[in-house]
Structure 1
Amino acid sequence: MADGKSDIRVLYICGLGSNVTGAKPSYMRQHFRHVTIPSVKHASYSATKEALAKECNSFKPDIVVAHSAGVGKAVTLATTGTFLGPLVLLAGGNGCAPVSDMTGRAVTLVVPSADPDAAAQKRALRSALDTSMVCGVDVEDKHDLNKSMVEQAMLRKIIEDTYKRHTGAALAPAVAVDSAAKVETPVKEQVKWIFSEWDLNDDGLVTGAEFKESLATLCDQMSPEDVETVVQIVDKNKDGQVDVDEFLEWVFSGAEHTDKVLAETAAPSPPEPSTAQDSQDGHAEATEVVEAEPPHEPDSLEPPAAPSAEPEPAEASAETPEAPAEPSSREPAPLEVGAEAEDAADLPAAPLSAVSCFYAAQPGQLYTWGRGSDGQLGQDKMRFPSVNCALPYPIPRLNQVVHVSCGGGQQGCTGAVTADGALYTFGNNFKGRLGHGDGPNVTEPRRVEALASERVLMAAFGSDHGSALVGSGRVFLWGCNRYGQLGRGHADKADAKPQEVVLPAAAVQIDCEDQYSAALLEDGRLFTWGSNGHGRLGHGTTAVSAHTPTAVAAEGVSLVLVSLGSLYAGAVGSNGELLMWGYGGHGNLGLGDRAPRSAPAAVVLPEPARQLACTRGQAGCKDGLNPKEGGHEGPHTVVVGTSGAIYTMGTCHKGLLANLGSKDGAFGRPWDELKPYRVGGPLRNGSEDAPMSPLAVWPPPYDAIGPVTSAVSAHIHAAVVCADGKAWAWGCGSNDGRCGVERFLNKKGEGKPPEVDMMKCYMMGPHRIGRSAEPSNQFSCVA
């Protein structure tokens, strides 16, 4: 140790926005003689898992150290048995949860005081089974931990203490290390990191078109002819693709060329503004709040490769999207979303009586999945199958989102409100519902400029109109007004310009669905207007429509939450009362029959209600309304109790109520629930037929997912997010990936061997959304 370096072999997994030349990686090389730092993109679970396992088995580390998004990867190495040694987990957030069950290994959780996810890390410590081996270190620092771990040089001691606690071995005395000495990143690691940035889908291959474009961007002085020549040279086996070995062979084939490439690509770093502490070593690292900046890879001339027929579980980690690259010349200017505006103090604050469950506890990264034909996904980097996206994928630059809403109709739209009060919309612009005026669909997030002077708190969208609640409690609406759903006192043609609706008091929540709207006021009154089909306005009348906001007939109940479904609606009272009205032909009102109600009726629930989700995006049902038997397509209501229990009512079609075990489309079956069914109760058809997917809760009961905090109910699927941050979906995933679950798709045909089925994706119970190892911090509304 003459050079002062430790002999402990360290495998370090970078966090989001870091790279192999960052502050902490450089520190590791400065203090440890044997260090490997794999290039991890955090985009593909299967590819990342395989790459890290291969690196771990080859390098044989004594200890694994990980930061932020890398923590989930380190935990996976441990829980899969790939690595049996000690762990040091830096600012791991919810990724630390599995640590509580670990025994027989030393684990140290470093918890920064300013980390929004500090509570999750401390919860893992409190619930640890092996308290003698699982320990925590609290530090006064930000999420990046550069001040404490690097500048104050705490990281080396933490690693050595953890290794000693695990092995019981005494370490040789540390020798001072020259902190001013410059540590060079191994050239091969830099080059492999560059390749990983070009490898858009993490399959270890770069297509010829991707290679050409990336090379032309990197070396802009090269002519197209030069680029073509290089491609022909690099692609040794002439398969139209470049693998990492071919890339490395090309880079190191000549010293002159190597110097050229490294000179132009040295020390790549994300474009996030660095803090004063970050800039001291020249390598800024992205600071995560709840979720950091999403990946933004170089533009590709070819779509990413489709998953194989039997894909591994894929990941869409809330903590793990990469920092974006600078936008190409073909992209619009970066959106400044969620930033702390200088004049933020001048914007009106949110009403104090606002219902907290509608807003994210912390700003986070927005993910979308499902159908993408009209741009409603907000990204075009990841598409499979067809024009859709079967797994959650981050929307570039929307990493400070506090509220999200989806609009239905034949094709959908999405609206996202950021921490600075801006509203961004994209997708289908039918009747101008995006708020940008009449015009074509929008495929990337675009700010609603008509509301730029307002601090938007939340937004809601129906099939043909939209609305926004702003900081002063005022409500703006725009789009179609055929049934008076804009609340302007008349029904006429569409108006794509946002205009304020007159309400008797400040609003705290809004909602829109197919041709009608609602606003919940701070005094507990609920007003609705627009189309009154099936009595869904709740006014106690059979009038065709109401053109101005009119109070819902909920005498004696102060309401705190409203949910509009396509055919019916419901609300929750301040004492947990559950009120339902509108269409009830599928038993979806939970009142014990299939009759409609034109005024709110109280539903008997075993406990007070906390949250309610009426079925959206379902203006029509394939088998018609008011069926005479169960199991037909139709609405299905999800209610969350104060205990975190889930209650469902309505049609059992394709497992929508989570009251079935064995896979069954349930057509014509007598398993509808006309009163609230507690998920976790007796299954209506047994549980002999286990699902294929390892992401499924099995065996039942399905309430094993833990207490639930919120739910959504969509056309033919439902989803919830739990107190631990994990999100789950069930019902029908169709052929567009709307459930966000890896496509194991249960079984193809009852009584037949397991086989992937693109159309018959029926999930009887909860399946983990997006990934298998790490919990989510955010859950986007599905419609």
Structure 2
Amino acid sequence: MIISGTCDLPAKALFMNIQQYNGRNDCPNCEIETKRIDNHQMYPFLDRGSIRTTEKTKTYAKQAIETNTPFLGVKGFSPLSLNLPILKDIMDKRYFEHHKLLVHALTLLNFLSTDDEMIELSRRLLFEYVKRYEVLYGKKYMVYPVAKAIRRQESTSGATLTCGQRDTGQLGLGEEVLEKTRFTEVSKLKDVISVAGGGMHNIILTNDSCVATFGCNDEGALGRDITECGEATPGFVELPARAIQVTAGDSHSAALLEDGRVDCWGAFRDSHGTLGLITRKKEDTPIEILPNIKFLKIASGSDHIVLLNNTGTVFTLECAEQGQLGRVSKRKLDRHSRREKTNFFSHYATFAEAGNSDLYVCGLNNYNQIGLKGCEKTLYLKISHMFSGHKWIQSSSRQHYTITVDEKGQVYVIGSKENGIVRPRYYLRRRN
């Protein structure tokens, strides 16, 4: 089993099953056609070449196998790409599920573009991968690198601090605490590694991959029975597998599980009221969405959810009134104007980053909050030139403004200037 390694260009070509660096279409990243001059392989300068993608490479590999000839530099499928399918019928289920953690993490890290959240997900997956070594392979394999990885993971967990008002229990400090003007620790939550805030509730992910919730449960957003500890005290949600990421919207919550499934609970809403969740008005406990598809990352807006799978495909669903699905026509935005039944909607805005640093956006833009000029909303994904060309490591988009942080730690804001939220300009402004 390969954990990690380095290799020279010939070995890399062997692993990837592509032509070597002295071939005609030999670049592993793009489809540039090289030329040979004076016995040297020359790579012409291209301002923007055609980037290789997973789907393209699969297509080329199939054609290479059928014709028994390399196609655009691809000789066939890489042995590494067939790793999981081959092992599925051979390896014991426990070991196979263990190996999937490694493959999931490496897939995230090998995207052309990664952010801090994807790196954090990979870290948790790799931690869980080495953590299971002792159970599966025995104590003799619990050597220094494994112990070091576990200690590093434990040092990153912390406490949850809250402040503000508790009108719906969202402080998590119990029914007796009505308000806190200073940050106070939620003492019942230990080893917290991730927090997601919804409209009037919060969802917490702990170091041992457990999920806790507290706050308003009117639409089932807590995903648990509140008869024992109530809404104002944290309680744990029962999930079918360990969670590696959590998100929250106005009235819904979601969890990405280590096996790639996504469970969601609560409800979505639009201007006409409750849309429900999947087939019911609301879900009080977790239910799997888009079964049979494995995901790597999820994100929630107020009343929509966006999911990324391992091929780079983006899925969106729920409220579509502002066009944030990026795929619903104007005629179908209002649910009362739809002629067919559908459960795919969105709300406010959606952002999707391509591997070449282009940022695609869709949704509400009445204050230029998604960086498009001359339109109040867009129904389909378009390149936002204001956001493109930067290396964003973190971003947060609200109803009328967006805040982003680049790799140098500079903060940028764009959108409405109401209540002094951002400076009175409609373009990106840098803040130190």
Q: TM-score, with normalisation over the residues of structure 1? A: 0.33
The reply on whether 1:738 has 2:400 as its aligned counterpart is no
Q: 1:523 aligns with which of 246, 255, 259?
A: 259
User: Structure 1's 492 and 729: CA in aligned 2 closer, same or farther, altered over 3 A?
Assistant: farther
The one of 167, 184, 203 aligned to 1:430: 167
Structure 1 residues 465-474 or 640-649, which shifts more?
A: 640-649
Q: Give the CA deviation at 1:481.
A: 1.8
**How far apart in 2 are the matches of 1:360 and 1:499?**
28
Given the alignment of the two structures, is residue 727 of structure 1 paired with residue 432 of structure 2, yes or no?
A: no
Q: Give the RMSD, CA atoms, in angstroms.
A: 3.2
Q: Structure 1 580/586 Cα, relative in aligned 2: closer, same or farther at 3 Å?
A: same
Say which SS state the counterpart of residue 388 (structure 2) adopts. helix
Does the Cα contact within 8 Å between 1:505 and 1:522 map onto a contact in 2?
yes
Distance 1:507 1:576 in 2: 21
Pairing 1:673–2:358 present: no
1:576-596 CA deviation, whole Å, 9 max, x = no partner? 111111111221111142436
1:480 aligns with 2:216: yes
Q: Return the offset for 1:644.
A: 2.5
Q: Deviations over 1:196-216 (max 9, x none)?
A: xxxxxxxxxxxxxxxxxxxxx
**Alignment of 1:640 onto 2:378:** no
Contact 2:301 2:349 (8 Å CA) reproduced? no
Which one of the candidate residues 640, 643, 652 is aligned to 2:365? 652
Is 1:718 aligned to 2:402, yes or no? Answer: yes
Which residue among 545, 550, 571 is the counterpart of 2:282? 545
Name the amino acid aligned to 1:358.
E
> Over residues 694-744 of structure 1, what are the superposed CA-to-partner deviations in whole Å (9 max), with x where a residue is unaligned?
xxxxxxx6635x233333210210122223332212111312x333xxxxx
- Give the C-alpha shift of residue 423 in structure 1: 1.5
Letter in 2 for 1:429: R
Give 1:489 deviation, angstroms: 5.3
- Alpha-carbon separation, structure 1, partners of 2:267 and 2:155: 31
* Cα displacement string for residues 107-148 of structure 1 (whole angstroms, at most 9, x for unaligned residues): xxxxxxxxxxxxxxxxxxxxxxxxxxxxxxxxxxxxxxxxxx
Q: Secondary structure at the match of 1:653?
A: coil
User: How far did 1:546 drift?
Assistant: 0.6
SS at match of 2:219: coil
Q: Deviations over 1:208-230 (max 9, x none)?
A: xxxxxxxxxxxxxxxxxxxxxxx
Alignment equivalent of 1:446, drawn from 178, 184, 189:
184
> Separation in 2 of the partners of 1:470 and 1:493?
19
Counterpart contact for 2:359–2:387, Cα < 8 Å? no
Q: Distance in 2 between matches of 1:716 and 1:586?
A: 12
Q: Structure 2 counterpart of 1:710, which letter?
A: Q
Check conservation: 1:569, 1:580, Cα contact below 8 A: yes
Shift of 1:554: 4.8
Q: Do residues 459 (structure 1) and 195 (structure 2) align? A: yes
Is the Cα–Cα contact under 8 Å of residues 638 and 713 in structure 1 kept in the other structure?
A: no
Q: Given the superposition, is the C-alpha separation of residues 671 and 716 from structure 1 closer, same or farther in structure 2, using an over 3 Å criterion?
A: closer
Give the residue type in structure 1 aligned to 2:388. D
1:656 Cα deviation (Å)? 1.7
Using a 3 Å threshold, how does the CA distance of structure 1 residues 600 and 490 change in structure 2: closer, same or farther? farther
Q: 3-state DSSP class of the match of 2:199? A: coil
CA distance in 1, matches of 2:155, 2:169: 21
Shift of 1:544: 1.1
2:371–2:387 contact (8 Å) kept in structure 1:
yes
Counterpart residue identity of residue 720, structure 1: T
- What amino acid sits opposite 2:296 in the alignment? V
- Provide Cα deviations, 1:69-122, integer angstroms capped at 9, x if missing partner: xxxxxxxxxxxxxxxxxxxxxxxxxxxxxxxxxxxxxxxxxxxxxxxxxxxxxx
Q: Does 1:703 align with 2:388?
A: yes
Whole-angstrom distance in 2 between the partners of 1:540 and 1:673 = 25
**Displacement of 1:486:** 1.6
2:421 corresponds to which letter in structure 1?
Answer: R
Pairing of 1:394-433 with structure 2 (within 5 A)? 419-433=156-170
Instruction: Write the distance in 2 (CA, Å) between the matches of 1:537 and 1:555.
Output: 24
Does residue 358 of structure 1 match 2:106? no
Q: 1:425-470, CA deviations, whole angstroms, 9 ceiling, x for partnerless residues?
A: 222323221211122222222111011xx31111122222222111
**1:137-190: per-residue Cα shift (whole Å, max 9, x none)?**
xxxxxxxxxxxxxxxxxxxxxxxxxxxxxxxxxxxxxxxxxxxxxxxxxxxxxx
1:432 & 1:571 partners in 2: Cα distance?
Answer: 29
Contact 2:328 2:380 in 1 (8 A): yes
Q: How many residues align?
A: 279
Gaps of 5+ in 1: 1-350, 362-416, 602-613, 616-634, 661-668, 681-700, 740-744, 746-760, 772-783
What code does the residue aligned with 1:643 have?
A: N
- Closer/same/farther in 2, CA of residues 522 and 765 from structure 1, 3 Å limit: same
Distance in 1, Cα, partners of 2:412 & 2:269: 32
Amino acid at match of 1:573: N
- Measured after TM superposition, the shift of residue 674 of structure 1 is 1.2
Distance in 2 between residues matched to 1:577 and 1:513, nearest whole Å: 22
Instruction: After superposition, give the CA deviation of every residue in 1:670-692 in whole Å (9 maximum; x if it has no partner).
Output: 55221111112xxxxxxxxxxxx
Q: CA deviation at 1:547?
A: 0.9
Residues 391-431 of structure 1 deviation map (CA, whole Å, 9 limit, x = unaligned): xxxxxxxxxxxxxxxxxxxxxxxxxx994421112223232
Distance 1:419-1:491 versus aligned 2 partners, 3 A rule = same
- Structure 1 range deviating more: 459-468 or 636-645: 636-645
Question: For residue 565 of structure 1, what is the aligned residue in structure 2?
Answer: 301
Match of 2:12 in 1: none
CA 1:715–1:450: 2 relative to 1, 3 Å: same
- How far residue 545 of structure 1 moved from its aligned partner, in angstroms, is 0.3
**TM superposition shift of 1:552:** 0.7
Letter in 2 for 1:729: V
Change (3 A) 1:581 1:418: farther
Report matched runs for 1:96-495 at 5 Å: 357-358=116-117, 419-438=156-175, 439-451=177-189, 454-488=190-224, 494-495=230-231
Asked whether the 8 Å contact 2:247–2:300 carries over to 1, the reply is yes
Partner Cα distance (2:193, 2:275) in 1: 24
Q: Quick one: distance in 2 between partners of 1:473 and 1:564? A: 19
Shift of 1:494: 4.8
Q: Provide the residue aligned with 2:269 in structure 1.
A: 533
Structure 2: which amino acid aligns with 1:653?
N
1:457 is paired with a residue whose SS is: strand
Q: Are positions 1:498 and 2:234 aligned together?
A: yes
Larger radius of gyration: 1
- Does the C-alpha gap of structure 1 residues 600 and 764 become closer, same or farther in structure 2, counting only changes over 3 Å? same
The correspondence for 2:317, drawn from 550, 560, 581, is 581
Q: TM-score, normalised by structure 2?
A: 0.57
Alignment CA distance shift 1:598-1:765 (3 Å): farther
* CA deviation profile, 1:628-657 (whole Å, cap 9, x unmatched): xxxxxxx12222223322111112201122
Residue 359 of structure 1, CA deviation: 8.2
CA distance in 2, matches of 1:522, 1:420: 18
CA distance in 2, matches of 1:492, 1:485: 16
Identity between Structure 1 and Structure 2 (%): 25
Q: Which runs of 5+ in 2 are unaligned?
A: 1-100, 109-114, 121-153, 334-340
Quick one: which amino acid aligns to residue 440 of structure 1?
A: L
